[in-house]
Amino acid sequence: MTALTMSSTLGDLLKYELNGNCSRETVTLKSGTNYALGPVLGKITGSGKYRLSPAAQVVGDEGAETAIGVLIESVDATAPDKTGLVVARGPAIVSKTALVFDASVDQAAEKSAKHAQLAAAGTVPATLPDPTPRLTANRASTNPRRGPNHFEETRSPR
């Protein structure tokens, strides 16, 4: 049987946003990257374009080392610069587990620094419990009044 994999959705990333009209911004993304949902972005001071926020300053992309927003859509900007929708200010809460970092941000301390930079901009990365109950079908019903094809809802341990 083929296993189906569902890609991440906006609901996996954005957990709370007070007002999308105030917290979102359309920005220009620097070309050369296929941006998935949820990358942590920094703004290049010289051009005003956004790119994945690196762990340290990159020559030619000064300013992008400070994380100031999260891209809330997938954008393929491999060839020309493209526009994308960013949560640039809060109050907003994003899931820590759904954030995508630049390859240079690979240490826990660097990720924590990016989380703090986002929080300073009003977008708080948080580890939240999964609100979706984990349901499994129990085909072997323990209730004798129900038939053998009755499915009961059982909650699996977290």
Give the pTM: 0.76
State pLDDT tens for residues 29-65: 999 999 999 999 999 999 999 999 999 999 989 999 9
State pLDDT tens for residues 105-139: 999 999 999 999 999 999 999 987 665 555 555 45
Q: Domains in the chain: how many in total?
A: 1
54 part of a folded domain: yes
Which range of residues forms the domain containing residue 76? 10-126
CATH number at residue 70: 2.40.300.10
Whole-angstrom distance, CA of residue 67 vs CA of residue 73: 17
20 part of a folded domain: yes
Distances (CA, A) of 106 to 44, 67, 101: 21, 15, 8
